[in-house]
Each structure stands twice: as C-alpha cells, then as structure tokens.
C-alpha cells in the first residue's frame, strides 16, 4: 500500500487562472465593456497612449537594463507604439514586433517611418496565435537574441504555453516587464477607492504570480524591481477629475466623493514651465531568464 497517497492531494494553487481572473476583474473586463474587445480598446487608445503616457514616462530608459552588448535580433511581443522597438531598431539588425492592435501598429509605423527605419518587421497577431516556426521564420529561421514583452503579459492568455514559446524562440534572453502593485499598494488610492466604491480595493495579482507560472514550466527567472515613472500632460486638475469621472462611468458623484477625488488627484499634479502634468510612480518588475544554447532554460 502506498504511504504517500496524501501527497497527491497537496494544495496546488492555479496561479495562471488567478492571474488571468485578477487582471480581468481589475481592468481588462472594463476595457471589453467600453470598447468591445481588448484589441479595439488598444486601437482607440493608441494616440493617447503614445502622446499622453509613453512620451513622458521613463520606460524607454529601461532599454539599458535589457540590452546586453550587441544583439542582432529582438522579438518584441505586444510592442505597442514602439517604446522599445524604435530605439532598438536604431542599433540592432532586425526587430520583429508581434502586436495585434492595428491602431498601436499604425503609431509605431509612423514613428519608424519618420526615422527612416526599415528593419522592423510587423506581425499583426496575438502571441497566442503565432507558432514557434512562424516567429523563427520571421528571423530568417534563427532564434532571437532577445525576446521582450513589456506590459503586454496582462493580455496574453494560455500563460504556460505562451512562456514556453517565448523560451523556445530565444537563444539569448527573455525579458518581461510588469507591474507589481499587488502587495505594495498606494494607501491614498486605497482610501479614495473606499470612498468612491464603498468597498475595499480588491487584491490585484502581481509579478509573483508570473514567477510561479514560470516555475511550473521549469523556468527559474531572475527578478529585478525598479521604479516606473509616468507623466501625463493635462490641461488642469479639473480636466483630470473629469477624465476620472468618465473612467468611473459616473456623471454624478456625491460632494464627499468629488472632494476625495480632487484631493487625491491634486496631490499628483505638477506644473512645469506653465504646463500641467499628472505624475505618479510605482514599482515595476523585470522578470528575465537566460536560455542555454541547447534550448533548455539555464539552471533548470
């Protein structure tokens, strides 16, 4: 008779499902309700994303963290408006961008065109719908020196397979940039959330869930924390308050709610040379791992 029968019943959390469900509850379901699909949401948001968020954030500065000397080819999954693809294309031989939103791709193509960059290959597809052969085929049949997914992992399904595919198409590194607000929450936002929604801010999943999913497929990545700084141009505080009301889908707030919202947002507005910006910073995580030459993940 087996003595360790109970080990079969060990508690095993479903990290991938908890991550996907958490992201949906936190914001992705709302994107679908407002725009019809995640894709349409990014189509509609593309210009604002580029001009209102990316242009003034410190995201492009992070390139130094990921680019080991001299990669020839980089695959950028969910590359968006090209915060990494454009500067990368200036120095590497080929950048392949897998990006399902036509609106985001159009902004990227426009930027690349203005710089005369002709070494970016565009694939308008979700990562889940691209096979390893197709991805490698786009790089003349060779695995990439680096594979990158910056803040796109929230929308990529089938996590186990998606991570393995990233691993399989790389011969150098895989880098994932992601938020990590789960357990390090902004207390002033928690206070505001309670006033606005009459319930505590629900827990969000964070990078640690991704780490656990990677472990499940035999990958043991490194994790580095850093500070992400976002700066969005605004007309004034009232415009920002109105934007948030719109985002909350509420025309009317009680006086207490309106005051709480104004107080919270006023604290995050700065003025520079007569221009106003909504500024905030938060911790982000860089999860990365090196691929062994034979294709197995290092250390696994």
Q: Between 88 and 265, name the residue whose CB sits nearer to ligand SAM.
A: 88
Cα distance between residue 111 and residue 100, in whole Å: 18
Residue for token pair 């790089």: 139
Minimum CB separation of residue 80 from ligand SAM in Å reads 2
Q: Looking at beta carbons, which residue is closest to ligand SAM?
A: 80
Q: Between 98 and 291, name the residue whose CB sits nearer to ligand SAM.
A: 98
Residue for token pair 């079969």: 8
Closest to 88 in 3D by CA, of 45, 59, 126: 59
Cα distance between residue 232 and residue 245, in whole Å: 17
Distance from the Cα of residue 104 to its chain's centroid: 14
Binding site for ligand SAM (CB under 6 A): 38, 42, 54, 59, 77-80, 83, 98-101, 104, 126-128, 150-152, 155-156
Q: Between 101 and 167, name the residue whose CB sits nearer to ligand SAM.
A: 101
What are the two backbone dihedrals, phi and then psi, of residue 105, each rounded to the nearest 5 degrees?
-60, -40
Minimum CB separation of residue 106 from ligand SAM in Å reads 11
Minimum CB separation of residue 141 from ligand SAM in Å reads 22
Q: Between 18 and 28, name the residue whose CB sits nearer to ligand SAM.
A: 28
Q: Between 81 and 257, name the residue whose CB sits nearer to ligand SAM.
A: 81
Q: Between 39 and 139, name the residue whose CB sits nearer to ligand SAM.
A: 39
Q: Between 150 and 167, name the residue whose CB sits nearer to ligand SAM.
A: 150
Minimum CB separation of residue 78 from ligand SAM in Å reads 3
Minimum CB separation of residue 296 from ligand SAM in Å reads 25
Minimum CB separation of residue 129 from ligand SAM in Å reads 8
Structure tokens belonging to residue 284: 């982000």
3-state SS, one letter per residue, for the chain: CCCCHHHHHCCCCCHHHHHHHHHHHHHHHHHHHHHCCHHHHHHHHHHHHHHHHHCCCCHHHHHHHHCCCCCCEEEEECCCCCCCHHHHHCCCCEEEEECCCHHHHHHHHHHHHHCCCCCEEEECCCHHHCCHHHHHHCCCCCCEEEEEEECCHHHCCCHHHHHHHHHHCEEEEEEEEEECCCCCCCHHHHHHHHHHHCCCCCCCCCHHHHHHHHHHCCCCCEEEEEEEEEEEEECCHHHHHHHHHHHCCCCCCCHHHHHHHHHHHHCCEEEECCEEEEEEEEEEEEEEEEECCCCCECCC
Q: Between 253 and 285, name the residue whose CB sits nearer to ligand SAM.
A: 285
Minimum CB separation of residue 218 from ligand SAM in Å reads 23
Minimum CB separation of residue 155 from ligand SAM in Å reads 3
């Amino acid at each position: 008779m087996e003595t360790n029968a109970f080990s079969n019943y060990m508690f095993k959390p479903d990290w991938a499902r908890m991550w996907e469900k958490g992201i949906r509850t936190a914001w992705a379901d709302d994107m679908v309700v407002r725009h019809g699909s995640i894709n349409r949401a990014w189509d509609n948001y593309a210009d604002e994303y580029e001009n209102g968020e990316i242009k003034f954030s410190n995201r492009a500065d992070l390139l130094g963290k990921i680019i080991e000397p001299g990669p020839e080819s980089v695959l950028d999954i969910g590359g968006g408006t090209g915060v990494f693809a454009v500067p990368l294309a200036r120095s590497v031989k080929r950048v392949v961008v897998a990006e399902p939103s036509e609106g985001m791709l159009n902004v990227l193509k426009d930027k690349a065109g203005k710089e005369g960059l002709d070494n970016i290959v565009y694939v308008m597809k979700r990562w889940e719908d691209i096979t390893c052969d197709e991805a490698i085929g786009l790089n003349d049949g060779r695995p990439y020196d680096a594979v990158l997914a910056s803040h796109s992992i929230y929308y990529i399904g089938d996590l186990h397979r998606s991570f393995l595919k990233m691993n399989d198409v790389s011969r150098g590194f895989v880098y994932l940039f992601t938020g990590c607000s789960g357990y390090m929450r902004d207390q002033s936002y928690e206070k505001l959330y309670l006033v606005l929604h009459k319930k505590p801010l629900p827990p969000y999943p964070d990078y640690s869930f991704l780490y656990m999913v990677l472990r499940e497929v035999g990958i043991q990545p490194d994790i580095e924390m850093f500070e992400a700084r976002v700066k969005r141009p605004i007309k004034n505080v009232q415009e920002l308050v109105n934007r948030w009301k719109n985002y909350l889908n509420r025309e009317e707030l009680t006086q207490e709610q309106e005051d709480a919202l104004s107080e919270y947002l006023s604290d995050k507005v700065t003025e520079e040379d007569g221009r106003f910006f909504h500024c905030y910073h938060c911790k982000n995580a860089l999860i990365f791992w090196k691929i062994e030459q034979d294709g197995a993940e290092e250390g696994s």
